[in-house]
């Protein structure tokens, strides 16, 4: 069994304006040492999907009855969605799964030193003594390339620069030796030069610790540099999955193609930028049929706006949810 299995994940939010479908029938697997990239625009449900792995979504979230998330911890298999009490949830929250957030300033408590925050979570999730936890924390800060780690240990988040804070965040997330690391836009708020340093560090750490990473980003070039496999999300659905080469070099779904065409590329300065036509629909007005048909250049009325496409295989390992990939497409008018 693979390390993490997500099957038919459905997630809806009850709001004053009505029920919002945030995640719709999402399935994927993640194995140790693997980096899965989850790409999509804002509002595509990528963060919500990741948070479901730890049940971190707000209380108005309702999981579908067929949704299943399994985590294989060798000695036992955890059915994440069946965990109820916060004590049980500690197995996944910060234990087997850690998370790095986009804005490190917002994820450190401002009035507690970096060191005591790191020690606190180690005391909860490991059997280390306070002394050992302190030693390990300084060691981890050192490992992620923070200079004078023993001094930084006693500093507050505001005393560190953006790149340093993100490194400290990574050190904290990895000190409990999680099986899965969720990285939610970890480099979006950083400068390119610092982004390159942080991405490099993450690559080294995967090799060293052998954990699995779920890497969430809207930036396809960052995905190209980090992920092994990619899943492209749009309005809560996975529209295409495959290896990073397949998805970026031979994208099959019109949405993936659209995303790639709208990227400014340094090797093609003269080519015009082609945005994906139209705006992402409001989650309250979810399109029937294929969720992308309202913006799709290939959409055919009568098919795409009525039936939901399944994931069709394109190549070994690559699938896309688009009717244009089926054999009888050209025959249909």
Partner 1 sequence: MRGLLCPDPRLVRRYLENNNMVGTSHISVRNLSVHFPLGRQLFGKPPVVRAVDGVSLEIPKGSFFGLVGESGSGKTTLGRAILKAAPITSGQILYRDDEIKYDLGNIGKEQLKDYRARAQLIFQDPYAALSPRMTVRDIIAEPLEVMGITDTRSATDDRVREIASKCRLNLEHLRRFPHAFSGGQRQRISIARALVCNPKFVVADESVAALDVSIQADILNLLESLRGELQNTFLFISHDLSVVAHICDTVAVMYLGILVESAPTRSLFSNPSHPYTKALLSAIPSLDPDIRGKAQKLEGEIPSPVNPPSGCKFHTRCPVAEEHCRREVPLWRELSEGHSVACHFAEPKPLPENIYN
Residues engaged in binding partner 1 (CB under 8 A): 41-42, 161-164, 191-197, 199-200, 203, 218-222, 224-225, 244-245, 248-249, 258-266, 269, 272-276, 279-280
Tell the smallest beta-carbon distance from residue 202 to partner 1 (Å): 12
Supply the minimum distance, in Å, between the C-beta of residue 228 and partner 1. 9
Q: Which is nearer to partner 1, 178 or 258 (CB)?
A: 258
Residue 232 exposed, middle or buried by CB count within 10 Å (0-12, 13-18, 19+): buried
Which sign does the torsion angle of CA 117, 123, 128, 132 carry?
Answer: positive
Shorter beta-carbon distance to partner 1: residue 88 or 200: 200
Residue with smaller CB distance to partner 1, 80 or 189? 189
Tokens 């529209």 belong to which residue?
239
Q: Give residue 16's region: left, alpha or beta (phi > 0; psi -120 to 50).
A: alpha
Report the residue number, 122 or 247, with the smaller CB distance to partner 1.
Answer: 247
Least separation, in Å, of the C-beta of 267 and partner 1? 9
Spatial distance between the Cα atoms of 213 and 134, rounded to a whole number of angstroms: 26
Cβ closest to partner 1, residue 78 vs residue 216:
216
Q: Check if the beta carbon of residue 82 is closer than 8 Å to that of residue 139.
A: no
Question: CA-based angle 180:86:110, to the nearest 5?
Answer: 75
Phi/psi of residue 71, each to 5°? -125, 120
Shortest distance (Å) from residue 78 CB to partner 1 = 32
Q: Tokens 């400014």, residue?
A: 264
Look at the chain and count its residues.
Answer: 333
Pairing relationship of beta strands 237-243 and 229-234 according to DSSP bridges = antiparallel
* Distance of closest approach, residue 216 Cβ to partner 1, in angstroms: 13
Residues 6+ apart with CB under 8 A from 196: none
CB of 122 to partner 1, least distance (A): 27
Tokens of 53: 């792995």
Residue 165 or 179 having the CB closest to partner 1: 165
């Amino acid at each position: 069994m693979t390390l993490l299995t997500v099957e038919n994940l459905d997630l809806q939010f009850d709001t004053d304006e009505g029920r919002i479908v945030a995640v719709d029938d999402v399935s994927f697997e993640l194995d140790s040492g693997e980096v899965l990239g989850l790409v999509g625009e804002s509002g595509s449900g990528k963060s919500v999907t990741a948070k479901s792995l730890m049940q971190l979504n707000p209380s108005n979230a309702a999981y579908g009855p067929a949704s299943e998330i399994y985590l294989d911890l060798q000695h036992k298999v955890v059915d994440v969605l069946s965990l109820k009490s916060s004590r049980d949830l500690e197995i996944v929250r910060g234990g087997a799964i850690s998370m790095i957030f986009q804005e490190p300033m917002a994820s450190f408590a401002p009035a507690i030193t970096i060191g005591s925050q790191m020690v606190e979570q180690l005391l909860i999730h490991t059997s280390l003594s306070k002394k050992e936890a302190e030693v390990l924390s300084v060691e981890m800060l050192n490992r992620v390339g923070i200079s004078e780690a023993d001094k930084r240990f006693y500093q507050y988040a505001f005393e560190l620069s953006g790149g340093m804070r993100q490194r400290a965040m990574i050190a904290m997330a990895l000190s409990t030796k999680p099986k899965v690391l969720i990285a939610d836009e970890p480099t979006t708020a950083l400068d390119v030069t610092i982004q390159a340093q942080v991405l490099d560090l993450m690559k080294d750490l995967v090799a060293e610790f052998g954990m699995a990473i779920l890497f969430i980003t809207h930036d396809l070039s960052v995905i190209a540099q980090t992920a092994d496999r990619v899943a492209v999300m749009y309005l809560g659905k996975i529209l295409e999955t495959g290896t990073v080469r397949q998805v970026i070099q031979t994208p099959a779904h019109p949405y993936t193609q659209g995303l790639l065409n709208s990227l400014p590329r340094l090797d093609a300065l003269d080519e015009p930028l082609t945005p994906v036509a139209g705006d992402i629909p409001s989650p309250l007005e979810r399109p029937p049929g294929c969720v992308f048909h309202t913006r799709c250049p290939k959409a055919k009325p009568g098919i795409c706006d009525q039936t939901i496409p399944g994931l069709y295989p394109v190549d070994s390992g690559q699938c896309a949810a688009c009717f244009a990939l089926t054999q009888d497409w050209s025959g249909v008018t």
